[in-house]
Amino acid sequence: MNESTLVTGAGGFIGGHLVAKLLQEGHHVRAVDKKPQSQWYQRFAAAENLTMNLQEKAACIRAVNGCDGIYNMAADMGGMGFIELNKGLCMLTVLINTHMLMAARQCGATRFFFPSSACVYAGCKQQQTDNPALKEEDAYPADPEDGYGWEKLFSERMCRHFREDFGLETRVARYHNVYGPHGTFDGGREKAPAAICRKVIAAKLSGRHEIEIWGDGEQTRSFMFIDDCLHGTRLLMESDIAEPINIGSAEMVTINQLVDLTEELAGVKLERNYKLDAPKGVRGRSSDNTFTKTQLGWEPSTPLQIGLEKTYAWIFDQMKNSRSSGRIVNRF
């Protein structure tokens, strides 16, 4: 292949895994992230690895030039604790998306993938723990997560109009809570599965058998393992599906059940302290995969217990190794 496939946000969690998958498929990959490469979660010598700030239009043009397919995974984001307290930073990601679409058009790219989020869905449809799973049409009338959700919804519309007005083939996935190894598990940007794994492991290693849970633990979510995310992403990118589509698990659990599963993996039982004033997001959210199954003939299938076991094992190794060298701080 003479042309490259571009992955932005390649130093991040999903981006790093996506680079690995594309390399395995035989693509020439240009991997771009603003972080120093020493801080990337995964870095592959077989890729063309570049460090640049994609909030700048000129950087986007340099990144896109010579690339046919673009996966725009770059974003300033994190778990609920981050996005509720950093709405302005989340909104600034629109600079990346705007400049990347402009660069794709200018440089003649043929396909553009945008990872949206379940945070675009109307908050009024997520106020009950046992609410029906979210369908694609539930994004309107618009009432997304403030900050991060609005940025994602606006960027979805940009993708639509660049397709309609300029002929750029855009594909939009609405991800639902992606988790797995080789990602953030501390520092404030981690999402619930990684955060719970970290807290349970810290309790196990320290002997302090207690855990802090944000909210009352009865809020519901579905969590998608990274392998399913990558498979769905590749299927969508190669499809003719122009509308935003759910890429998420339909296996809905409470946060308390997520803790139960993690405790089983650790072989511990912890005293639960509920922090009711902590950021906790909507009351209930999961993915309705009716449209996904109809259009792609597929839906995420990795059971939470299986994916969580792999994630727990990786985080445990990271924390145990850091603890042995005296670098870890136990967090609850």
> Which residue in the block uniquely carries the two structure tokens 């849970």?
213
Alpha-carbon distance values, 95 to 59, 72, 182, 250 (Å): 12, 12, 27, 32
Which residues have a Cβ under 8 Å from the Cβ of 251 and sit 6 or more positions away? 222, 223, 286, 303, 304
Q: Alpha-carbon distance 157 to 107, whole Å?
A: 21
Q: Is the pLDDT of residue 324 over 80?
A: no
The b-or-e profile of 283-319 (16+ CB within 10 A means b, else e) is bbbbbbbebbeeebeebbebebeebbebbbebbbebb
Report whether pLDDT(47) > 60.
Answer: yes
The answer on pLDDT for 27 being more than 60 is yes
Instruction: Please give the mean pLDDT across all residues of the chain.
Output: 94
- Supply the CATH classification number for the domain 4-178+225-247: 3.40.50.720
Q: Which of 121, 148, 175, 312 is catalytic?
A: 148
- The DSSP element (H or E) to which 50 belongs, if any, is strand 48-51
Task: Tell the CATH topology of 182-222+252-286+304-324.
Answer: UDP-galactose 4-epimerase; domain 1 (3.90.25)
- pLDDT, tens digit, for every residue of 256-301? 999 999 999 999 999 999 999 998 889 999 999 999 999 999 999 9
Dihedral pair phi/psi, residue 194, rounded to 5°: -65, -40
Domain boundaries in the chain? 4-178+225-247, 182-222+252-286+304-324
Res 322: pLDDT: 78
Residue 2: pLDDT band by 50, 70, 90 thresholds?
low
pTM here is 0.94
How far apart are alpha carbons 321 and 315 in whole angstroms? 10
Between CA 157 and CA 152 the distance in angstroms is 9
Which of the pair, 245 or 84, is modelled with greater confidence?
245
Is 56's pLDDT higher than 70?
A: yes
DSSP 8-state assignment for residue 68: E
Predicted local confidence at residue 310, as pLDDT? 98
Instruction: For residue range 184-217, list pLDDT tens digits in order.
Output: 999 888 999 999 999 999 999 999 999 999 999 9
Active-site annotation holds for 179: no
The per-residue pLDDT for range 74-93, each reduced to its tens digit, is 998 888 888 888 999 999 99
